[in-house]
Amino acid sequence: MSLFAFDSLTEEEKYDRFLERINAGEKIEADDWMPDDYRKQLLKLIPMHGISEIMGALPEKEWVPKAPSLRRKLAIMSKVQDEMGHGQLLLRVAEDLMRPLGKRREDIMEDLLTGRLKFHNVFHMEAPTWGDAGVIAWLVDGAAIISQTMMLTTSYAPYGRALKRICAEEVFHAQHGEAIVMALAEGTDEQRQMLQDAVNRWWESLLMFFGPDTSKRTGNSNQDKNIMYKLRTKSNEELRQDFLTKYIPRIHSIGLTVPDETLHYDEEEEMWVYQQPDWDKFKQIVSNNGPRSQARLRLREISHENNEWVREALGKKQTMQTASV
């Protein structure tokens, strides 16, 4: 259809054309026409993902200076840097989507600090030992790989391209995590205990990571919409099942346990049966009432305040370097 012909369509006809396009597997670019609702869904998804990468750098950042060998110091620095890089990549995708609405990166930052923009449940949690640094990179990144790989086929092309780069790096993160975990698993009793404690601490958060299985649990219907818009192909529960299938055998094979005695694979139903996490607690956590929510938000806030003079100075000497959060 020519551009002129497309412009003369009614909104409803445009919407139908749009759905036809994505149903045929076509990808949408930033400058293509898109329904407001589609943009809205993307703007729920992508800034949340981007800011989660950035907030996700903070629990591991706690262990960067303390990493227990030169090799680990280098590896974890590089890993955390990657996460900041993912945040940067995604915020740029979000910026393009926000531009027609007259919003900028600063607005994302403000939304984070006022609590309007949420970040992933896992990054609200404590990471009190080096074992946590290992478990985060192994299992939290492992969970992220599962959900991000699923989104690679997203109908929104710029997001898909960013995810492709991100997924390539995530593979290294999981390897880095596995290396830390293996060293602890094969180490002294104290090291093994440190690791097991960390797994116990993270288990519920890892189950929560994929979100509730049905909208009833938290009253949120974005899942279905996102499937319709081809932003995702699997449900939360399918992803969680994939995660359990991949990691339960690995966890057991290095002699670790998970803190759920009911957990087992139901051969007939062909799925994992597990103790549901406390979804009310989940809601509390993502509403910035988790154990480390305020402390981590405070880090972003203090960096924002402390560097205000830098942003002003750069604003005066406009360069490529001015993009700021």
Chain residues binding Fe ion by CB under 5 A are 53, 83, 86, 141, 170, 173
Q: How far is the CB of 252 from Fe ion (least distance, A)?
A: 24
316 binds other proteins (CB under 8 A): yes
Nearer to other proteins, 17 or 298 (CB): 298
Interaction partner, residue 173 (Fe ion, other proteins, none; CB < 5-8 Å by kind): Fe ion
CB under 8 Å to 179, separation ≥6 — which residues? 75
Of 6, 37, 74, 115, the one binding other proteins (CB under 8 A) is: 74
Residue 80 touching other proteins (CB under 8 A): yes
Shortest reach from residue 190's CB to other proteins, in Å: 7
Which residues within the stretch 228-247 sit at the binding site for other proteins (CB under 8 A)? none
In whole angstroms, the minimum distance from the beta carbon of 28 to other proteins comes to 26
Provide the minimum distance between the beta carbon of 4 and other proteins in the complex, in angstroms, as a whole number. Answer: 41
> Given the complex with other proteins, which of 16 and 186 has the nearer CB atom?
186
User: Nearest approach, Cβ of 25 to other proteins (angstroms)?
Assistant: 33
HEC letters along 209-272: HCCCCCHHHHCCCHHHHHHHCCCCCCCHHHHHHHHHHHHHHHHHHCCCCCCCCCCEEECCCCEE
CB of 57 to Fe ion, least distance (A): 9
Using CB under 8 A as the binding rule, whether residue 69 contacts other proteins is answered as: yes
What angle do helix axes 189-209 and 141-151 make, rounded to 10 degrees?
30
Smallest distance from other proteins to CB 129, Å: 8
Q: Which residue is nearest to Fe ion (CB)?
A: 173
Contact between 62 and other proteins by CB under 8 A: the answer reads yes
Residue 199 to residue 150: CA distance in whole angstroms? 25
Q: At what angle do helices 293-306 and 308-316 cross, to 10 degrees?
A: 40
Q: Is the dihedral of CA 289, 293, 297, 302 positive or negative?
A: positive
Helix (H, G, I), strand (E, B) or coil at 11: helix
Q: Give the total of residues touching other proteins (CB under 8 A).
A: 57
- From the list other proteins, Fe ion, none, partner contacted by residue 291 (C-beta under 5 to 8 A by kind): none
**Region of 35-43, 230-238, 250-258, 292-300 interacting with other proteins (CB under 8 A):** 292-300
Say which residues have a Cβ less than 8 Å from residue 108's Cβ, sequence separation at least 6. 47, 50, 51, 91, 94, 98, 117, 325
Overall size of the chain counted in residues: 325
Q: Is 323 helix (H, G, I), strand (E, B) or coil?
A: coil
Q: Where are the alpha helices (DSSP H) in the chain?
A: 3-7, 11-23, 36-61, 70-98, 105-114, 130-135, 141-151, 157-185, 189-209, 215-218, 222-228, 236-253, 279-284, 293-306, 308-316
Contact 248, 272 (CB under 8 A): yes
Q: Nearer to other proteins by C-beta: 62 or 237?
A: 62
- 75-83, 145-153, 198-206, 221-229 -> range binding other proteins (CB under 8 A): 75-83
The binder of other proteins chosen from 28, 46, 58, 166 (CB under 8 A):
58
- Kindly tell me the burial class for residue 37, based on how many C-beta atoms sit within 10 Å of its own C-beta (0-12, 13-18, 19 or more): exposed
Ranges within 127-166 binding other proteins (CB under 8 A): 130
Query: Which parts of this chain interact with other proteins (CB under 8 A)?
Result: 54, 57-58, 61-74, 77-78, 80-81, 84-85, 87-88, 91, 130, 180, 183-184, 186-188, 190-191, 295, 298-300, 302-303, 306-307, 309-314, 316-317, 319, 321-325
